[in-house]
Amino acid sequence: MTEAERHAAFMARIERGEKIEASDWMPAEYRITLVKFMQMHALSEIMGALPEKEWVPRAPTLARKLSLMAKVQDEMGHGQLILRVAEDLAAPLGKTREDLVEELFTGVAKFHNVFHMPAPTWADCGIIGWLVDGAAVVSQAALLDSSYGPYARVLQRVCAEEGFHIQHGESICLALAEGTPAQRQMLQEALNRWWEALLLFFGPAETNSASATILLKYRFRTKTNEDLRQKFFTKYVPRIWSLGLTLPDPDFRWDEAQGRWIYTAPDWSKLKEIARNQGPLSQYRLGLRRMSYEQARWVREALLGKVVA
């Protein structure tokens, strides 16, 4: 088969809804774009554990500490599982797991914009678990039918565990919402702080970046950023209101005629700053990650010393 015939056969498989496996022939742009996407997802799971890890020593009760530790552990576990899948696809490109992990430090690989934000109070921990993980499940559930089989399979486990994270976050937020006026205020302030980040989470409405186009073309993803953001609003905004909380956006409303939520656009330029690792806590969190990567180097070397040839 010529290259063009192979490509046509591959597209026909995609259009039939078939799943692609690691060992299958695939166009270079599919492989490269997927490796980049999964690498970012894996690194974001790991970086996403950091804002919450900051709260493990300060959790208000032992029960909260246990539940937060379990969540942090899950996020690191998800990072491991997704890296494993990314690694298989990256091998023919001459890239190892170490390369995928270390590209975070050189800025070649990014981590999700939402994890560049500060989490100054305990209520931030609740909002992260409930709404940031809620947003993550909305976007990941949309990938469960992804054209890349190994990723779709690993996401089943990830999404199931994220379901636990949302319950954990809801539990924190419900306790604060039913608490003292000071606790309610802390919750409202955390929501105000995270609202813009939650809008930025899904990315700009116009997804015409080269990689977004490739991901849609090959049915790695099928929903646009705006589809996902609207879905998130439909699921979570009524719940936010039902707790008596308000959104820090006076123009936010459901438009019956258009059948969609109207919201004040966030400052999209912030995404560009974050992509350059110039977000509020980008450098601080990268520093933490670098430190833990270096401190655990001896462990990796000890484990590598045992490699069975």
Exactly one of 8, 63, 92, 96 binds another protein (CB under 8 A); which one? 96
Phi then psi for residue 20, to 5 deg, are: -95, 140
Q: How far apart are alpha carbons 192 and 184 in whole angstroms?
A: 12
| HSE-up (13 A, CA, CB side) for residue 70 | 16
Interface mask toward another protein for 286-305; x: CB under 8 A: -----------------xxx
Contact letters for another protein, residues 31-70 (x by CB under 8 A): ---------------------------------------x
Provide the sign of the torsion angle of the four alpha carbons 264, 269, 272, 277, taken in this order: negative
Q: How far is the CB of 91 from another protein (least distance, A)?
A: 10
User: How far is it, in rounded angstroms, from Cα 236 to Cα 257?
Assistant: 21
Please identify, among the stretches 117-125, 154-162, 170-178, 210-218, the one whose residues bind another protein according to the rule CB under 8 A: 154-162
- Contacts with another protein by CB under 8 A: the residue count is 29
Site membership for another protein, residue 167 (CB under 8 A): no
* CA gap 163, 211 in Å, rounded: 28
Q: Which is nearer to another protein, 23 or 180 (CB)?
A: 23
Q: How far is the CB of 37 from another protein (least distance, A)?
A: 19
Report whether 240 contacts 191 (CB < 8 A): yes
Shortest distance in whole angstroms from residue 134 CB to another protein: 20
* H-run or E-run covering 260: strand 260-262
Q: Does 175 bind another protein (CB under 8 A)?
A: no
CA atoms within 13 A on the CB side of 94: 0
74 sits near another protein (criterion: CB under 8 A)? yes
**Quick check: 23 binds another protein (CB under 8 A)?**
yes
Stretch that binds another protein, among 94-102, 180-188, 194-202, 266-274 (CB under 8 A): 94-102
Q: Name which of 99 and 226 has its Cβ closer to another protein.
A: 99
| Residue 94 or 181 with smaller CB distance to another protein | 94
306 binds another protein (CB under 8 A): yes
* Dihedral angle, C-alpha 256, 194, 82, 154, nearest 10 °: -40
Tokens of 271: 């995404």
DSSP for 155-195 reads HHHHHHHHHHHHHHHHHHHHHHHTS-HHHHHHHHHHHHHHH
Query: How far, rounded to the nearest angstrom, does the alpha carbon of residue 283 sit from its chain's CA centroid?
Result: 19
Region from 75-83, 166-174, 189-197, 257-265 binding another protein, contact rule CB under 8 A: 75-83
Q: Is 210 in the site for another protein (CB under 8 A)?
A: no
Binding residues vs another protein (CB under 8 A): 21, 23-24, 70, 73-74, 77, 80-81, 84, 87-88, 94-99, 153-154, 157, 161, 164, 303-308
